[in-house]
Amino acid sequence: MKNKIIGGIVSALMLGFAGLYCAKDDVAITKDTYGIITKGYSALRIEPMVFAGIIIYLGKGESVEIAERSREKSWVGKMNDFWYKIKTKDGTVGWVFGDNIIIHSSKSKVTMDKIASDFMEREALQIKKYLAGKWWSVNKFGDFTNHCLELYENNKYRSYQREQESRAIVGRYRLDFNRNEIIFSSGTSFRSNLDLLKRGNEYEIKKNIKERELRFAKIGLELPPEPVLTTKENTKKP
């Protein structure tokens, strides 16, 4: 009896997963189907293949119209998905790989813009929560070098060199999803913004500067009290 119950549960789960898979594959593309680009610098290609020419690069959070879906899935790296023919707000048409887009059916353009805006807000909050903490620059061997960067969830930051904390640079940072970059309003001790790269469920922050790589490792979540910004620092736009 017990084996029959377990077998029934397993069968139900398998059917459920199959149903979810079919539901995804059977999404109907209509004139009211829209999508949101989920990865910055996503290539819009001439044809639905990874080696096709690139028309433009799409920004993360961009709302687009879906015109068509490829008949079959394709492999791009480790991802297997459909290609979608899309139209941008300025009328540019091309193909984008399915792993780079979320599909929403029967939504008005106004609604999609709101969905895209909400998506970007959630993304920004999640990333800022991940980034919050103390980061220290490291070399290619993982040894700590000279720069410390303290990032706060409310967009404030402190940047200073080893043994020069009293001379820390403070300001606000913002996330530029189109360039995958962290931009600092008042500069940094290492005199550069940083690239923000996603690796699985984690993020890397680094920058190639004059043929050398500046990389940071997170060393802790505890931070000193957030910096008090002057009126000038508060009004600077990153």
Determine if residue 40 is left, alpha or beta; phi over 0 gives left, psi from -120 to 50 gives alpha, anything else beta.
beta
Per-residue pLDDT averaged across 99-126, rounded?
Answer: 83
Nearest-angstrom CA–CA distance, 212 and 86: 39
* pLDDT winner (highest mean) among 35-49, 116-130, 151-165: 151-165
**Are 31-121 and 132-235 the same fold in CATH?**
no
Q: Give the domain ranges of the chain.
A: 1-27, 31-121, 132-235
Average confidence score pLDDT of the chain: 84
Amino acid 15: pLDDT: 35
**pLDDT tier, 11 (very low <50, low <70, confident <90, very high otherwise):** very low
Question: DSSP code of 228?
Answer: P
Contacts of residue 82, Cβ cutoff 8 Å, sequence gap at least 6: 69, 70, 72, 73, 74, 98
The superfamily (CATH) of domain 31-121 is: SH3 Domains (2.30.30.40)
Angle among Cα 63, 64, 66 to the nearest 5 degrees reads 140
Element containing residue 217 per DSSP (H, E): strand 212-220
231 φ, ψ (degrees, to nearest 5): -55, -40
For residue 195, pLDDT beyond 60? yes
Tokens, residue 75: 């492999």
Amino acid 137: pLDDT: 96
Going from the C-alpha of 8 to that of each of 5, 20, 163, 186, the distances in angstroms are: 5, 18, 64, 62
103, burial (CB in 10 Å: exposed 0-12, middle 13-18, buried 19+): middle
Per-residue pLDDT averaged across 73-90, rounded?
Answer: 93
Q: Which CATH number fits domain 132-235: 1.10.3470, 2.60.40, 1.10.3450, 2.40.128?
A: 2.40.128
Instruction: Dump strand ranges (E) for 54-210.
Output: 54-58, 63-69, 74-76, 79-81, 83-87, 93-97, 101-104, 133-138, 144-151, 156-161, 169-176, 181-184, 194-199, 202-209
**pLDDT tier, 238 (very low <50, low <70, confident <90, very high otherwise):** low
Tens of pLDDT, residue by residue over 39-63, are 888 999 999 999 999 999 998 888 8
**pLDDT tier, 17 (very low <50, low <70, confident <90, very high otherwise):** very low
